[in-house]
């Protein structure tokens, strides 16, 4: 049990979270024991490949899972500033509605999924402010204009009346950030907010998020499949593979001294050209394929693709162990990665 | 080096391409969409998707094409393969001008160049097995018997890392990476000399991306293929390309051997693009704003509205591409920049 002092530094602690989908083909265990900590004022990146359970983890925290899905185990302890930790899973729906969108908010990969196409963007922001903070219509509209300005939308007095389809992809993403930040949340979950954008626009959005996060001392969960972005935006990182967090720790440690073979393999996949070597154009793909989510292996899910497995890796899921303060891995053989 | 010394028709002494190595040459290529108005509608300003592009691809060479969304990369690829008719300019393939070829004459040529798309399913008939998808073009182009074609199809599948048992499968039953392998096998079936790959790995996870890039590199080398590799991912292009063309608003901003382009970019737009790649130094200011409408491009240098170094003179004339180093050209009037 962490000490009281550590608790106050923690905004969200997710412990052994399980979420599953009931599908015609059987139960899909999309999240199978996810554990991570988000510290106040910091950014935790969740990185992993398609289908690893990143979005489902975010949706579970927000309590907005699709109908055929449910959280079946674990805790999600959220501590509002000055308040005690409360398990979001046990919160009555009425309480949860106050947390959602106000204390914790989420932005999505596809802005169209959270912006309503039939209302002007300013109206959507104003409506959130009226609903959560009880602003008068005039005050809400003025605040919406100011928010649009803060996220770098030029000519906000005019753009406040624009419909989502009248904006470019980058502008829509900015509008969505403005909407998510309207109530000054303590925790922002950004689910691949730049994946569909050009590098130049991605760069603008990343800088914007980093600036807003600092100004507001907001905490953030930044979901991405791009390890290169992690170094840029996050303080800590949780690496997901096949529905589990396999490694978590400070960014510099995890990226420079990975303690899980999957993290290392993922780092090796990043194209990096070395002009001084004949082999400087070769990439190192990860052999094999992702496990079938309907029938995951009983032990370490990465074992079939791992370069250094031993017998016990196959027998049972390796424990998620702290190998140095704040650095956890679910690999029994992590020392082998450190010659 | 004094770049002005190479101005004009002066051919650089160490220019890499010998004349006889050139496989594909396009000159002054333009494509304007939607020029004509209807009976009752005035002609809207045309979309200038590609504007006065000249480039060469040598035998066995990989030329990368980069630029933001809407810069004209895909349109250029389609023009080169004669899948679109140019508004102006010529396409020369193996010393033959194919710009005006139509119908059967063009189809006869088609076998020598192929295209690979971002979505592998886009180029495959969903109701056709992979075997039939491979056998059909071979029978068409080489008058092989079905049995001979089937044997060759199995060879092709093995070449791309699939197996004979995949012949009877349908495209949809493959994962993203496997699907791209099938699309590559099909592109190779007609034994082309030249391939346009349009964002072939953009939709894939990093680990699968590494796998497909490795496959393309091996095939390209083994078969001596020439390739136009289109991507918005600068890191992937750096690994695969011998030379790189940077497009902006349909125009070539810079062309250079890969190392020169990435290490010593000469055009402000290239420098800004590289600056935006995550994981690179964060010294400079991010590129402001977004790519303007291609229906109404800025006068003079099309990049000037976003260029941090623009002078009044930049608005006057479209800067000509001029030599700044061996095989290295840029379309910018300034020579006093430290990028
Ligand atoms: N509505 C659904 N019904 C059934 N299974 C689902 C549903 N949504 C997600 N899943 C499954 O849950 C698992 C995790 O999905 P999730 O969307 O969290 O992945 P992700 O890591 O966000 O991937 P991506 O990078 O592609 O967004 C996957 O195996 C997926 O197939
Ligand atoms: N058939 C068409 N009709 C009208 N405009 C078109 C057509 N095809 C492309 N365009 C326009 O031409 C411009 C260049 O498009 P193109 O698809 O070549 O860009 P791109 O660089 O491939 O972009 P992306 O990275 O998004 O694929 C864009 O403004 C696009 O909207
Ligand atoms: S020509 Fe002028 S506007 Fe264009 S890139 Fe060069 S300095 Fe910038
Ligand atoms: Mg997702
Ligand atoms: Mg394109």
| Closest ligand 3 atom number to CA of residue B253 | 5
Per the prediction, chain A carries an average pLDDT of 92
Does any domain span residue A326? Answer: yes
Hey, whose CA ends up nearest to atom 3 of ligand 3? B304
Residue A190: per-residue pLDDT: 96
Per the prediction, chain B carries an average pLDDT of 89
Minimal C-alpha gap between A254 and chain B (Å): 15
Task: Quote the CA–CA distance of B137 and B158 in Å, as a whole number.
Answer: 18
Residue B19: per-residue pLDDT: 58
If asked whether residues A65 and A77 sit together in one domain, one would say yes
| Total domain count, chain A | 2
* Residue A279 touches partner B, C-beta closer than 8 Å: no
Does any domain span residue A109? Answer: no
* Residue A292 touches partner B, C-beta closer than 8 Å: no
**CATH assignment at residue A213:** 3.40.50.300
In degrees, to the nearest 5, what angle opens at C-alpha B171 toward C-alphas B168 and B174? Answer: 95
Percent of residues, chain A, with pLDDT higher than 90:
80
pLDDT class of B18 with cuts at 50, 70, 90? low
At residue A151, does pLDDT exceed 80? yes
- pTM score: 0.90
Residue A129: per-residue pLDDT: 95
Does any domain span residue A108? Answer: no
At residue A27, does pLDDT exceed 80? yes
Minimal C-alpha gap between A220 and chain B (Å): 19
- Domain final residue pick, A147, A164, A184: A184
At residue B9, does pLDDT exceed 50? no
* Residue A235 touches partner B, C-beta closer than 8 Å: no
At residue A301, does pLDDT exceed 90? yes
Is the Cβ pair B278, A232 closer than 8 Å? yes
If asked whether residues A218 and A318 sit together in one domain, one would say yes
Which B-chain residues 277-296 have CB contacts (< 8 A) with chain A?
A: 277-279, 282, 286-288, 290
If asked whether residues A141 and A177 sit together in one domain, one would say yes
pLDDT class of B286 with cuts at 50, 70, 90? confident
Is the Cβ pair B263, A228 closer than 8 Å? no
At residue A52, does pLDDT exceed 90? yes
If asked whether residues A207 and A65 sit together in one domain, one would say yes
ipTM associated with this complex? 0.88
If asked whether residues A86 and A43 sit together in one domain, one would say yes
Structural domain containing residue A135? 115-184
Does any domain span residue A291? Answer: yes
Q: Provide the b/e sequence for B99-123 (b: ≥16 CB within 10 Å).
A: bebeeeeeeebbbbbbbbbbbbbeb
Is the Cβ pair A229, B217 closer than 8 Å? no
| Closest ligand 3 atom number to CA of residue B302 | 4
Does any domain span residue A303? Answer: yes
As a three-state string, the secondary structure of chain A is CCCHHHHHCEEEEEEEEEEEEEECCEEEEEEEEEEEEEECCCEEEEECCCCCCHHHHHHHHHCCCCCCEEEEEEEEEEECCCCCEEEHHHCCHHHHHHHECCCEEEECCCHHHCCCCCCCHHHHHHHHHHHHHCCCHHHHHHHHHHHHHHCCCCCHHHHCCCCHHHCCHHHHHHHHHHHHHCCCCCEEEEECCCCCCCHHHHHHHHHHHHHHHHHHCCEEEEEECCHHHHHHHCCEEEEEECCEEEEEEEHHHHHHCCCCHHHHHHHHHCCCCCCCCCCCCCCCCCCCCCCCCCCCCCCCCCHHHCCCCCHHHHHCCCCCEEEECCEEECCCCHHHHCC
Distance in Å, CA A50 to ligand 4 centroid: 7
Does any domain span residue A310? Answer: yes
If asked whether residues A216 and A332 sit together in one domain, one would say yes
Listed range (A264-268, B103-107, B183-187, B248-252) with the worst mean pLDDT: B103-107
If asked whether residues A231 and A167 sit together in one domain, one would say no
* Residue A206 touches partner B, C-beta closer than 8 Å: yes
- Domain final residue pick, A169, A184, A199: A184
Query: Hey, how many other C-beta atoms are within 10 angstroms of the C-beta on A276?
Result: 5
* Cα nearest neighbour of A289 on chain B: B208
Hey, whose CA ends up nearest to atom 5 of ligand 2? B33
**Between residues B320 and B286, which one has the greater pLDDT?**
B320
Is the Cβ pair A285, B207 closer than 8 Å? yes
Is the Cβ pair A203, B213 closer than 8 Å? no
- Over residues B253-275, mean pLDDT: 96
Does any domain span residue A110? Answer: no
Residue A278: per-residue pLDDT: 81
Residue B3: per-residue pLDDT: 37
* Residue B203 touches partner A, C-beta closer than 8 Å: no
């Amino acid at each position: 049990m962490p000490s009281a002092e550590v608790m106050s530094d923690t905004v969200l602690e997710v412990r052994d979270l399980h979420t599953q989908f009931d599908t015609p083909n059987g139960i899909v265990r999309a999240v199978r024991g996810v554990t991570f900590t988000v510290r106040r004022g910091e950014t935790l990146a969740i990185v992993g490949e398609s289908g690893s359970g990143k979005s489902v983890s975010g949706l579970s925290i927000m309590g907005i899972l699709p109908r055929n899905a449910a959280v079946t185990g674990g805790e999600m302890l959220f501590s509002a500033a000055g308040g005690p930790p409360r398990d979001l899973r046990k919160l009555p729906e009425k309480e949860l509605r106050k947390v959602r969108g106000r204390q914790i908010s989420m932005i999505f990969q596809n802005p169209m999924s959270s912006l309503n196409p039939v209302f002007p963007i300013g109206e959507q922001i104003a409506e959130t402010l009226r609903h959560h903070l009880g602003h008068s219509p005039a005050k809400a509209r003025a605040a919406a204009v100011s928010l649009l300005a803060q996220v770098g939308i030029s000519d906000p007095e005019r753009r406040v009346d624009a419909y989502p389809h009248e904006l470019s992809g980058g502008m829509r993403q900015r509008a969505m950030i403005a909407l998510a930040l309207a109530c000054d949340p303590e925790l922002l979950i950004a689910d691949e907010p730049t994946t569909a954008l050009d590098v130049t626009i991605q760069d603008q959005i990343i800088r914007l998020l980093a600036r807003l996060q600092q100004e507001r001392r907001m905490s953030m969960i930044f979901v991405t499949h791009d390890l290169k972005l992690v170094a840029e935006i996050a303080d800590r990182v949780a690496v997901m593979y096949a529905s589990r967090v396999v490694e978590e720790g400070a960014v510099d440690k995890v990226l420079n001294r990975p303690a899980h073979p999957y993290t290392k393999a993922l780092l090796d996949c990043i194209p990096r050209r070395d002009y001084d070597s004949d082999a400087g154009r070769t990439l190192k793909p990860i052999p094999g394929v992702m496990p079938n989510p309907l029938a995951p292996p009983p032990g370490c899910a990465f074992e079939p693709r791992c370069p250094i497995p031993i017998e016990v890796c196959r027998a049972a899921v390796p424990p998620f162990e702290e190998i140095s303060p704040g650095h956890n891995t679910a690999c029994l053989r992590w020392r082998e990665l450190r010659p | 080096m004094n770049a002005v010394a190479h101005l004009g028709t002066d051919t650089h002494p160490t220019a890499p391409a010998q004349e006889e190595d050139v496989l594909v040459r396009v000159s002054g290529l333009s494509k304007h969409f939607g020029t004509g108005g209807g009976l009752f509608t005035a002609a809207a300003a045309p979309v200038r998707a590609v504007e006065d592009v000249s480039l060469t691809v040598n035998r066995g060479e990989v030329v990368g094409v980069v630029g933001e969304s809407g810069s004209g990369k895909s349109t250029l690829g389609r023009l080169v393969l004669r899948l679109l008719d140019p508004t102006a300019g010529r396409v020369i393939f193996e010393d033959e001008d194919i710009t005006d070829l139509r119908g059967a004459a063009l189809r006869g040529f088609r076998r020598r160049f192929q295209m690979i798309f971002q979505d592998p399913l886009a180029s495959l008939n969903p109701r056709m097995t992979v075997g039939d998808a491979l056998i059909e073009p071979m029978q068409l182009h080489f008058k092989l018997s079905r049995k001979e074609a089937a044997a060759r199809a199995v060879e092709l599948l093995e070449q791309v890392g699939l197996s004979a048992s995949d012949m009877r499968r349908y495209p949809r039953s493959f994962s993203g990476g496997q699907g791209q392998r099938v699309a590559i096998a099909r592109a190779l079936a007609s034994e082309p000399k030249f391939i346009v790959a349009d964002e072939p790995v953009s939709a894939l996870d990093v680990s699968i991306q590494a796998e497909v890039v490795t496959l393309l590199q091996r095939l390209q080398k083994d078969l001596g293929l020439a390739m136009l590799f289109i991507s918005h991912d600068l890191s992937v292009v750096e690994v695969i390309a011998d030379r790189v063309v940077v497009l902006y608003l349909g125009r070539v901003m810079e062309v250079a051997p890969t190392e020169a382009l990435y290490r010593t970019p000469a055009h402000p737009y290239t420098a800004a693009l590289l600056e935006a790649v995550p994981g690179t130094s964060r010294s400079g200011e991010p590129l402001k704003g977004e790519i303007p409408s291609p229906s109404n491009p800025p006068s003079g240098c099309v990049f000037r509205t976003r260029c941090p170094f623009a002078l009044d003179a930049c608005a006057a004339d479209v800067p000509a591409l001029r030599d700044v180093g061996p095989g290295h050209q840029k379309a910018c009037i300034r020579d006093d920049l430290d990028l």
